[in-house]
Structure 1
Amino acid sequence: MPKIVDHEQRRDEIVEAYLTVVARDGLPAATSRAIAAELGVGTGALWHYFDGYDAVAAGAYQRITERTNARIAAATAQLSGLDAVYAMLREILPLVKETVDEAYVVVGFWGRLAANDKIAATRADVDEHWHDLLGRHLTEAVRDGRLIPATPIEEVIDVLLSIAVGQQVHAIMGSELAEPDRQMKMIDHCLRPWRG
């Protein structure tokens, strides 16, 4: 009798193996062979569940997005206004090993996305979700008087999201700009002109 395999579970295991190799050995080490070895299978077994390496990278990107959104939800559950903005950004910015490891996967995925538009459809629409959350919390900050009524919320959101993306690149490049204190000072600088 043929063995019954849960395809979704196996896909999850492959993505987790990819993330494990990246966290332990770095992105360049996350080869097909290394992922298969992490799972204790032959390399060819990976391609029963994914169309290719780019699809595995896309799956890892989606997993990181899901984890980040879960962390944001937990961190901001009891917060509003600027407290929620800062809590949210602390879960996105590469401030600790976990989020630095994630930055390697995310930036690596962007590189693959630039060369393979077939995986574009797998990209989670994270920008819109984070935009909406930041908009809500910045509006709360205006309402509670911590930001002035003239705060250009849309432009502030654009700058905050651009900082978040840029810091992921700086983190994988080992730039001094990615030092945690400097990252948070950028956020402070962005918000300072609008504080009430």
Structure 2
Amino acid sequence: MPKRVDPTERRALIVDAYLRIVARGGVAAATSRAIAEEAGIAAGALWHHFDGLDDVVRAAFERVYGESDARIRAAVDGHRGLAAVHAMIGEIVPHDAQTRNEATVVVSFWGLLPAHESFRELTRRVEREWGAGLARHLDEAVSDGDLVAATPVQALADALLAVCDALQLREVQASDSGKTRRRTELIERLLAAWAVGR
């Protein structure tokens, strides 16, 4: 009898293969043939578990989002206010091999958004959840007396999240403005405009 394949495990194996290929050679290298070879399965077997290459990319994005979200929760645990804001941003903005690879996956996923409403909804959900987290911690910073009472909390949270998106893109572009010192200055300037005693 042929060995029974666990569909969940096989999907995870394929996503793992996709992410390794992207990490090594970028999105263009992640062809269906390359993914199948990397996963050690027949090319036709890919489509027993996914509807197409875009579906693989979506699953990879969901994996990256889930792992990023888990890191954010761990980093924020025990912190509040500006410390929590910095902890969140520190896990969204690329800073090591894992988060740089994740940025490549995220930016490639953005390229698919115009053709897929379900993909757009997924990114909007991420934006809502992370934006709500930033806004909550900015509210704490106002309560703690670190930011002025007039701080436009929701607008500032939106701006910080937009900067995080831009810094992911700039990492993939290998832009100088994505370097650690410059991106730290950018975040600090946004927050400093509303700091108490500035």
Band the TM-score falls in, shorter-chain normalisation:
over 0.9
Quote the Cα distance in structure 1 between the aligned partners of 2:181 and 2:54.
Answer: 34
TM-score normalised to structure 2 length: 0.93
After TM superposition, give the deviation of residue 13 of structure 1 in Å. Answer: 1.1
Distance in 2, matches of 1:118 and 1:137, equals 29
Report the 3-state secondary structure (helix = DSSP H, G, I; strand = E; otherwise coil) of the residue aligned with 1:125: helix
> For structure 1, which runs of at least 5 residues remain unmatched after alignment?
none
Q: CA deviation at 1:113?
A: 2.2
1:110-156, Cα deviation, whole Å (9 max, x unpaired) = 10222344644555711111011111110110111111111110110
The higher relative CO (CA closer than 8 Å, separation ≥ 6) is in 1
> Which letter does structure 2 place at the counterpart of 1:85?
V
Which residue matches 2:91? 91
Identity of matched residues, %: 44
Structure 2 residue aligned with 1:193: 193
Structure 1 position 151 matched with structure 2 position 151: yes
1:109 aligns to 2:93 (yes or no): no
Match of 1:138 in 2: 138
Q: How many residues align?
A: 196
Q: Which amino acid aligns with 1:58?
A: R
What RMSD over aligned residues (CA atoms) do the two structures have, in Å?
A: 1.5
Check conservation: 1:55, 1:119, Cα contact below 8 A: no
1:170 aligned partner, one-letter code: R
Q: Is the 8 A contact 1:75 1:88 kept in 2?
A: yes
- Letter of the 1:41 partner, please give it: I
Query: What TM-score comes out, normalization by structure 1 length?
Result: 0.94
Q: Which runs of 5+ in 2 are unaligned?
A: none
Name the stretch that deviates more: 96-105 or 50-59. 96-105
Q: Secondary structure at the match of 1:137?
A: helix
